[in-house]
């Protein structure tokens, strides 16, 4: 076991995630890239542990302190689940901790039970995993005065960051962090789409991450600037990006919005585009 130490370690983590990906997987190579690189380094000093065998990552644990934890373990090394959980428990140092498992990850749920984790009866929020085939995609309907297009790299960087920050009411994503994101695998500018308004400002955006080994694209994230909501721009930019995803040869798209009643609108958007739920997260509390 060693600590995450250099940019190449993200690619090594993604190697494990890509090898293990299936419809029963909680992680996709794109959500690792987005989660690690969306914010500047001073905001992402989360402890990450890597377990290797012969130089290849066979397990990783990601501690978003003070309480949230993600992990992935090669099923050929089941004994490492306990090691990863103990590492996280030590880091938490007595603080409340939470681990999430998909309802289809029966082996992980069994191990969490065995190590004293329990399903949190008070947790209301959860994420719902949705997918759809890229066959028979509807065409995007773009409101008058707007266009949807892929970003043009550095030339669009400032506006691309601005539309995300305004859509999410957050200043954490910066020009520098998004530039690093654009340089990382598996980012592709042809899968990073925006809706551009009459004045040239970006009004909505959709970023898709392609796992080219499995032909599966992950939508993460999507956003629309508040004053341009309820115009159909999120749907238009997502469908345009999905058509671009299909053009790469991909067969399937997935997206993981909140599934609880506290944040219902994204599910309505994605289901209206033909996505159907196939799994959900289950929150576990630490012992």
272: tokens are 């209206």
The residue among 93, 113, 128 that closes a domain is: 128
CATH number at residue 77: 3.40.630.30
Asked whether residue 284 is domain-assigned, the answer is: no
Distance CA 97, CA 115 (A): 13
Write down the pLDDT at residue 93: 86
pLDDT of residue 95: 83
Name the burial class of residue 44, with classes exposed (0-12), middle (13-18) and buried (19+) by CB atoms within 10 angstroms of its CB: middle
- pLDDT means per 10 residues, the chain with 287 residues, are 96 98 95 96 93 97 86 95 92 87 93 91 92 98 98 96 97 97 98 96 98 98 97 98 98 97 94 97 90
Determine the Cα–Cα distance for residues 80 and 17; give it in Å rounded to an integer. 16
Q: Is residue 93 domain-shared with residue 25, that is, in the same domain?
A: yes
DSSP 208-242: EEEETTTTEEEEEEEEE-GGGTTSSHHHHHHHHHH
Residue 25 lies inside a defined structural domain of this protein = yes
Q: How many angstroms separate the CA atoms of 247 and 245, rounded? A: 5
Residue 94's pLDDT is: 84
* Structure-block tokens of residue 110: 């069994």
Structural domain boundaries enclosing 251: 130-277
Asked if residue 68 and residue 35 are part of one domain, the reply reads: yes
- Are 69 and 175 contained in the same domain? no
- In this prediction, residue 66 carries a pLDDT of 67
- Whether residue 100 lies inside any domain: the answer is yes
Same domain, 158 and 272: yes
- β-strands 252-255, 216-224 pairing: parallel
Q: Are 23 and 135 in the same domain?
A: no
Quote the number of domains for the chain.
Answer: 2
* Same domain assignment for residues 90 and 21: yes
178 and 104: one domain? no
Same domain, residue pair 149 and 167: yes
């Amino acid at each position: 076991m060693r600590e995450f130490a250099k940019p190449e370690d993200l690619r090594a983590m993604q190697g494990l995630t890509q090898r293990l990906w299936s419809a029963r997987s909680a992680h996709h190579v794109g959500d690792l890239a987005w989660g690690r690189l969306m914010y500047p380094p001073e905001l992402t000093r989360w402890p990450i542990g890597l377990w290797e065998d012969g130089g290849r990552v066979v397990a990783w644990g990601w501690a978003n302190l003070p309480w949230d934890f993600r992990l992935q373990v090669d099923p050929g090394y089941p004994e490492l689940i306990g090691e990863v959980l103990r590492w996280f428990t030590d880091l938490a140092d007595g603080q409340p901790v939470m681990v999430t498992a998909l309802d289809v990850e029966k082996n992980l749920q069994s191990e969490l039970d065995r190590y004293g984790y329990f399903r949190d009866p008070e947790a209301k929020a959860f994420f719902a995993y949705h997918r759809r085939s890229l066959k028979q995609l509807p065409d995007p309907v773009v409101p008058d005065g707007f266009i949807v297009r892929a970003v043009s790299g550095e030339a669009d960087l400032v506006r691309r960051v601005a539309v995300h920050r305004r859509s999410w009411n957050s200043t954490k994503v910066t020009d520098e962090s998004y530039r690093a994101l654009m340089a990382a695998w598996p980012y592709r500018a042809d899968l990073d789409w925006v809706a551009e308004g009459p004045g040239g400002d970006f009004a909505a955006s959709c970023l898709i991450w392609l796992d080219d080994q499995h032909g599966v694209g992950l939508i993460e994230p999507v956003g629309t600037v508040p004053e341009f909501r309820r115009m159909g721009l999120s749907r238009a930019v997502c469908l345009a990006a999905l058509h671009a995803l299909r053009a790469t040869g991909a067969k399937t798209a997935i997206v993981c919005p909140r599934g609880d009643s506290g944040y219902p609108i994204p599910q309505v958007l994605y289901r209206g585009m033909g996505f159907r739920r196939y799994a959900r997260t289950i929150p576990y509390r630490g012992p």
